[in-house]
Amino acid sequence: MKNLSKYIKMLRYGLQIKTMVILSLVFFALGILYELVNFNSNGLIPFSGLYLGIAGTYIYSVAITPTVSALVQTSYMNRKLQTGVPVLFAMVFGLFTFTVFVLLRVFVGRGMLLASDPAANVNIIYVNIICTAILLGFLNLYYSFSYRYYVVSTIVLCVILFPLLFMFMSMEWSLPQRILALVSQLVEKTGAWLMYVLSYVILLLGYTIGYLANCALFRKPMSGLAFRAALRQAESK
């Protein structure tokens, strides 16, 4: 707890902390609003889940941008601030936002889905939850690599993530239909609880791999593109 308070104090050396926190809250609010106003059951990955992932990006940045400061780089806490602290901040925020998303999907989205289409397959809600967990976990891996290999990481993100998002946001493709059928069979055999457990396991696995990636890449130089504005500010400190 004592170290956590020290980490929080080091945030004052970061870049535009208030702006990033506000942006994170804005995207979180957009995700919740989209979930309530424009519930989308046509695809496996809802837009609200994507908004939550973007919100987590800013929280990760809040924790890692202080490491460009010369004072922080010479501190004994530098390694933890570059490896564990960003993941910890993103994980706490991510678990909270994901739990809110799950509750809305299950208790609000289910009713909206059946109201619009009484014959709808409600198991798509569980697929939404699992796919959103995979999305958030994948984005966390992107955070870990992008601050050191910004260009390559961004290209990989665009090449892998965007086509999958395009495919999974519609049920017209055969792969989403097969996934829905598989999940429906699992729910009938084991119950919905397995879907909840699996989604949180996937999410935590993403944060764990992200932390291990940070540790493995710790000695690699930070990307000048990822920290371009932050480096300019650090020179004046």
pLDDT in tens, 178-221: 777 777 787 777 778 888 898 999 999 999 999 999 898 888 87
Q: Which 8-state DSSP code applies to residue 41?
A: -
pTM: 0.81
pLDDT exceeds cutoff 90 at 99: yes
pLDDT score, position 66: 75
Mean pLDDT over 47-55 rounds to 83
Q: Which of 46, 49, 54, 34 is nearest to 168 (CA)?
A: 46
User: Encoding tokens for residue 33?
Assistant: 């609003």
pLDDT exceeds cutoff 50 at 234: no
Q: Which of 27, 92, 87, 22 is nearest to 60 (CA)?
A: 87
pLDDT exceeds cutoff 80 at 51: yes
| HSE toward the beta carbon, residue 66, CA cutoff 13 A | 26
Percent of the chain clearing pLDDT 90 (strictly above): 10
Per-residue model confidence as pLDDT tens digits over 112-171: 766 666 556 677 888 888 888 888 888 888 888 888 888 888 888 888 877 777 766 666
Count structural domains, the chain: 1
Q: 133 is in which domain, residue-wise? A: 2-235
Categorise residue 69: left if φ over 0, alpha if ψ from -120 to 50, beta otherwise.
beta
Enumerate helices (H) and strands (E) in the chain, giving the number of each: 12, 0
